[in-house]
Amino acid sequence: MPKPIADRKIIYTHHHHINKNYFNQFKNVQFRKLNLTEYTDFNTICSGIKTIVHLAFPNEIICKQNVEASIDAGIRGTYYLLSEAKRYNVKNFIFLSTAHVYGAPLEGEITELSLPKPIHPYAITKRAAEDFVLALRNETNINAIVLRLSNGFGYPVHKDINRWTLLVNDLCKQAVLKKQMVLNSSGLQHRDFIPFEDVISAIVLLDTLKKEDTLDGLFNLGSGKSLPVYEFALKIAEIAEKYLDSKISIIRKTPLDGEHYEPLNYNINKISSIGYIPKGNINFEIEETLRFCKEHLI
């Protein structure tokens, strides 16, 4: 069986919505866009690779618009990629899943032992793909890992990447272009916001660990703190007003009588127990996203 080239890593993406600059701490890495439905492209894509980071997955918009195609790309495509990883003796396989496999609304304490209740097609396909990843872990020596990511955010690779539906990115874009931010809800629901810098730090950590040090391979990944969406919007507005030297208004739906959400504790104790420490600067990340919008979208 072919052996991986020492320390060679590859990140398979679909939209490149995470900027490559975040991976500066990740050495000897290549980026490659992968069409998960072009199965003829899978023949040699894992040859000589030590670590695969699997980001090539239909986003939530695509999944909702075309469920069947998303099932084909997300689930079947992940299965084929895993099969090739097994064929070429890849050492590490890291799959970015989502906190939304736990259902909606996200509230209360959520640990890896919480029962998944995915509702949206995006979460359902991610959940199914997770099982294939963890099955590979159990069947082989591959250190296959699932990261259930909370609300990640950060500036994209370039302006044409259509990932402005990510909440923080969307609010930053609105602030720059319209000097206001419109929420599609009351904003009372809690979210755990994590800058992409911390996401990459977790990936780098996992790449350095042996399989026996990564427990069962399933981890929640977040900042360990949550805020109501409206409060986070206020934080963005405050930073935007200083950066843009302009007043930023926030428009949201009026809370319904009795509308209430339990605070969210997206528990990251498990990944913290193996060395993960979130250090990302949320304020800096927001300002960088605002800067990107100002430079590329106006």
DSSP the chain: -PPPPTT-EEEEESS--S-GGGGGGS-SEEEEE--TT-GGGGSSTTTT-SEEEE-----HHHHHH-HHHHIIIIIIHHHHHHHHHHHTT-SEEEEEEEGGGG-SS--EEE-TTSPP---SHHHHHHHHHHHHHHHHHHHSS-EEEEEEE-EEE---SSTT---TTSHHHHHHHHHHHHSEEE-SS-S-SEE-EEEHHHHHHHHHHHHHS-GGGSTTSEEEES-S--EEHHHHHHHHHHHHHHHHTS--EEE-PPPPTT---PPEEE--HHHHTTT------HHHHHHHHHHHHHHHT-
Beta strands 108-110 and 29-33 are unpaired
Q: What is the pLDDT of residue 16?
A: 46
Residue type, 88: Y
Q: And the tokens for 173?
A: 């874009």
- Average the pLDDT over 52-75 and give the result: 88
Sign of CA dihedral 206, 104, 181, 162: positive
- 281 has a pLDDT exceeding 70: yes
Structural contact between residues 203 and 94, judged by C-beta atoms closer than 8 angstroms:
yes
Q: And the tokens for 247?
A: 């007043």
Q: Which domains does the chain have, with CATH numbers?
A: 9-152+193-221 (3.40.50.720), 158-191+226-262+280-296 (3.90.25)
Q: What is the pLDDT of residue 115?
A: 97
Burial class (CB in 10 A: 0-12, 13-18, 19+), 67: middle
Residue 121: count of CB within 10 angstroms of its CB: 20
Tens of pLDDT, residues 161-195:
666 778 898 999 999 999 999 999 999 999 999 99
Q: How confident is the model at residue 154 (pLDDT cuts 50, 70, 90)?
A: confident
Structural contact between residues 194 and 280, judged by C-beta atoms closer than 8 angstroms:
yes
Give this prediction's pTM.
0.90
Rounded Cα distance between 15 and 159, Å, is 12
- Average the pLDDT over 152-157 and give the result: 79
- 46 has a pLDDT exceeding 80: yes
Residue 154 dihedral angles phi and psi, to the nearest 5°: 160, 165
Rounded Cα distance between 159 and 227, Å, is 28
Residue type, 95: F
Beta strands 143-149 and 151-153 are unpaired
Rounded Cα distance between 142 and 119, Å, is 30
- Average the pLDDT over 9-16 and give the result: 60
Q: And the tokens for 114?
A: 């919480």
Q: And the tokens for 169?
A: 């990115």
Rounded Cα distance between 107 and 115, Å, is 13
Instruction: Considering only residues 130 and 9, tell me which one the structure prediction assigns the higher pLDDT.
Output: 130
Nearest C-alpha neighbor of 149 from the set 185, 86, 106, 210: 106
